[in-house]
């Protein structure tokens, strides 16, 4: 399941229309990264570059120059090398970039330093993500200096450097239908994987066994990579927000928190569910869980076009604070506890983030100093949580070491919200029923 080349071409067209006359934009692809000695990490293309090209080879560079007679879209890529392709696999080469990836012109990387000064000559503004790649920044300065060196011959180097992020990331924030279909599929695969992990969980197992269930299920359905390192935290480990050791045994009577989501064609999913290892919630676990669930559902219900982003978070803070007071984990007036930040001992993160090609996707949360209103096509996570530190002696011992988070992926629609991750259960009775199917005897 992939984005069509027509979609990539449309994105380039939209960006070119936003670039002023006499400007040029540079977008660099990712490079291979060494894992150890001569072994490399699996290649993952830079999101901005892939968003505009769909080209999944390392070390490529895209140049966009509106109104250029010889073509507005220029790609640089590694050259074809049949001998190396025995080891590395097929490469498109410049010819393939034109034939298959929509470039008007393409050059191999050996021509980069010769061609780039010519392509920059005469442009007044350079749009470029300065500071993202120090080595490339140095090369860009070299190309600009090469143009300046020919000023007596009539060459003109760009006089203004502008970050491309503002234009490109605003485009990426709003998802088109092809993107949404892939994100729905990624969410569906991840949701089913979470269900499989719930079925497998049992006292005496290990966190990494549940991780392996998630990974294998996703891979078997074509999602080879996760959007981030999976979190599988049993018991007290669930109170560590970015816990990724995933090597502890699963204890009878504990909860286990799984935060995992696959990536499909460079689009992320992001799901968190928390459930009892033995298939049954204890009274304390259930009380905290249902408070988090109530908050998750209320925040999703609130989402609609025109709602300022921060109001979703503010609602989560109020509901969780009120619930903690009712359960006796906090004492005082709701407004005062919110004002003082007392709730942060239990809820220390935000309600969510944008979701797309990056799991924490690009896009401004404020515009002109104000929280931006939600609009159709935005995708965000909703992930309230409560974490009672095992060292928190301000609460009764029965609450300590319980960590709970419930996270869904939510699309803002014209009418409200579409939950992309609805296929994985989150109600207490649904979770206990699912786990009972695989041998857990809830209530035994």
Tell me the catalytic residues. 38, 242, 259, 270, 349, 353, 360, 383, 387, 405, 407
* Beta strands 34-36 and 39-40, pairing class: antiparallel
- Identify the bridge partners of residue 276 per DSSP, sorted by sequence position: 255
- Residue 187: which residues within 8 A CB-CB, separation 6 or more? 261, 269, 271, 409, 420, 421, 423
* Separation CA 44–CA 444 (nearest Å): 47
- What is residue 422's DSSP assignment? T
Helix (H, G, I), strand (E, B) or coil at 435: helix
Task: Indicate left, alpha or beta for 401 from its phi (over 0: left) and psi (-120 to 50: alpha).
Answer: left
Helix (H, G, I), strand (E, B) or coil at 157: coil
Helix (H, G, I), strand (E, B) or coil at 64: strand
* Beta strands 39-40 and 262-264, pairing class: unpaired
DSSP string of 72-85?
A: SEEEEEPPP-HHHH
* Separation CA 228–CA 243 (nearest Å): 12
The helix or strand, by DSSP H or E, that contains position 172, with its residue range, turns out to be helix 165-173
* Separation CA 256–CA 251 (nearest Å): 9
Q: What does the angle CA 100 – CA 104 – CA 108 come to, to the nearest 5 degrees?
A: 75
* Separation CA 16–CA 65 (nearest Å): 7
- Burial label, 104 (beta-carbon count in 10 A; 0-12, 13-18, 19+): middle
């Amino acid at each position: 399941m992939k984005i069509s080349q027509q979609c990539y071409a449309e994105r380039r067209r939209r960006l070119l229309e936003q670039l002023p006359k006499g400007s040029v934009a540079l977008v660099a692809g990712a490079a291979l990264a060494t894992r150890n000695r001569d072994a490399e990490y699996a290649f993952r293309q830079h999101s901005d570059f892939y968003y505009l090209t769909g080209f999944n080879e390392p070390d490529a560079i895209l140049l966009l120059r509106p109104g250029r007679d010889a073509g507005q879209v220029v790609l640089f890529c590694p050259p074809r090398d049949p001998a190396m392709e025995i080891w590395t696999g097929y490469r498109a080469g410049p010819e393939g970039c034109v034939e298959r990836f929509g470039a008007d012109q393409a050059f191999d990387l050996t021509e980069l330093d010769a061609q780039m000064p010519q392509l920059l000559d005469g442009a007044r503004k350079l749009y470029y993500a300065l500071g993202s790649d120090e080595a490339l920044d140095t090369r860009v300065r070299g190309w600009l200096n090469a143009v300046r060196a020919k000023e007596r011959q009539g060459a003109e180097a760009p006089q203004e450097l502008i970050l491309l992020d503002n234009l490109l990331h605003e485009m990426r924030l709003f998802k088109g239908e092809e993107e949404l279909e892939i994100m729905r599929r990624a969410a569906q695969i991840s949701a089913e994987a979470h269900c499989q992990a719930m079925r497998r969980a049992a006292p005496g197992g290990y966190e990494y066994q549940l991780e392996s269930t998630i990974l294998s299920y996703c891979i078997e359905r074509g999602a080879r990579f996760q959007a981030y390192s999976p979190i599988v935290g049993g018991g007290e480990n669930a109170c560590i927000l970015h816990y990724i050791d995933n090597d502890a045994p699963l204890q009878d009577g504990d909860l286990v928190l799984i935060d995992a989501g696959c990536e499909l064609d460079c689009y992320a999913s992001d799901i968190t569910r928390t459930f009892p290892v033995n298939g049954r919630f204890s009274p304390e676990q259930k009380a905290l869980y249902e408070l988090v669930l109530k908050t998750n559902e209320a925040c999703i219900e609130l989402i609609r076009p025109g709602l300022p982003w921060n109001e979703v978070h503010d609602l989560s803070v109020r509901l969780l604070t009120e619930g903690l007071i009712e359960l006796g984990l906090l004492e005082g007036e709701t407004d005062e506890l919110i004002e003082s930040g007392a709730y942060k001992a239990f809820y220390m993160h935000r309600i969510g983030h944008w979701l797309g090609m990056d799991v924490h996707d690009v896009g401004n949360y404020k515009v002109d100093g104000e929280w931006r209103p939600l609009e159709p096509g935005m995708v965000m996570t909703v992930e309230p949580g409560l974490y009672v530190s095992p060292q928190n002696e301000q609460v009764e011992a029965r609450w300590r070491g319980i960590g709970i988070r419930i996270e869904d992926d939510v699309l803002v629609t014209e009418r409200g919200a579409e939950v992309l991750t609805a296929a994985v259960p989150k109600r207490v009775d649904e979770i206990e029923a699912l786990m009972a199917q695989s041998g857990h005897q809830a209530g035994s």
